[in-house]
Amino acid sequence: MALREGDTALVTGGTSGIGLAVAENLAAAGNKVFLVARDGDRVADTVERLAKEDHAVAGTTCDVRDADDIRRAVAEANEFGDVDVLVNNAGRSGGGITAQLSDELWDDVVATNLTSVFRMTREVLTSGMSDRGWGRVISIASTAGKQGVVYGAPYSASKHGVVGFTKALGNELAATGITVNAVCPGYVETPMAEGIRAGHAAHFGVTTDDVRRKFESKIPMGRYSTPEEVAGLVGYLTTPSANSITSQALNVCGGLGNF
């Protein structure tokens, strides 16, 4: 259920994978949803489809690496409805042999996965959430934000940063009525996961099916999680039952990471 009637959720990267599942989940629970992504056509298509399902939804383009774009997008979201729930989902993969990584790759992964979380959160807090004294900030991190991933140093470092940011800000805001949490997926079946499998297959000279089997063998449940399962935890964190949950990094990973 929605936490409060009329709550508005801003979801970044809301047209694909986990972000799309989160937008669908929150809309179905009765929240107004404002979604952003870089591809304007996909934003329009997603908004149109959800609106046809009688959901209160709107959206705009936003490159979360761009501070001006973030300010504009948050202003548009607040015009749609005061943003009470922020879901920082936009992100990218990235890695390789660490000694051979370019500055450009490192900088882009960190800008997309970590700096955007700070900037988006700051903008939502300062544009009304702090004044209202209630809110939810939920960032999609990763189990890679709790342990190192071989050939994934930029991604792992950025997601560790999201976890650290969440814990610090959650404690800072604990007495304000605003909770701050991270959701940490393991292997999730998304377009990003397909790209990661393709990258590993090319690097090691094997098939993508070989990579899938290798990854699945690490997961106690023996399968990838679904975007809907991740979205379910995000949705729970917006409900009254989650009022006392803050500064946490919660796994959705089929037992992959019991830490």
- Residues 22-69 have pLDDT tens digits of 999 999 999 999 999 999 999 999 999 999 999 999 999 999 999 999
pLDDT for 198 equals 87
The percentage of residues in the chain with a pLDDT greater than 70, rounded to a whole number, is 98
Q: Which residue has the higher pLDDT, 221 or 107?
A: 107
pLDDT tier at 236 (50, 70, 90 boundaries)? Answer: very high
Q: Which residue has the higher pLDDT, 222 or 7?
A: 222
CATH superfamily of 8-187+226-252: NAD(P)-binding Rossmann-like Domain (3.40.50.720)
pLDDT tier at 156 (50, 70, 90 boundaries)? Answer: very high
Enumerate residues 6+ apart whose C-beta is below 8 A from 45.
Answer: 15
pLDDT for 125 equals 98
For the chain, residues classed under CATH 3.40.50.720 are 8-187+226-252
Burial class from Cβ neighbours inside 10 Å (0-12, 13-18, 19+) for residue 128 reads middle
pLDDT tier at 4 (50, 70, 90 boundaries)? Answer: low
Burial class from Cβ neighbours inside 10 Å (0-12, 13-18, 19+) for residue 141 reads buried
155 catalytic? Reply is yes
Percent helix, percent strand, percent coil in the chain, to nearest 5: 50, 15, 30
- Return the DSSP state at 188: B
Alpha-carbon distance 157 to 215, whole Å?
20
pLDDT for 204 equals 85
pLDDT for 195 equals 82
Residue whose C-alpha is closest to residue 106's, from 66, 64, 158: 158
User: What mean pLDDT is reported for the chain?
Assistant: 94
Per-residue tokens: 179: 């909770």
Helix (H, G, I), strand (E, B) or coil at 223: coil
Q: Supply the pTM of this predicted model.
A: 0.93
pLDDT for 170 equals 98
Per-residue tokens: 136: 């939810």
pLDDT for 1 equals 44
Q: Check pLDDT > 80 for residue 226.
A: yes
Distance of CA 97 to the CA centre of its chain: 26
pLDDT for 194 equals 83
Q: How many Cβ atoms from other residues are within 10 Å of residue 246's Cβ? A: 20
Q: Which residue has the higher pLDDT, 176 or 190?
A: 176
The active-site residue, picked from 151, 155, 187, 236, is: 155
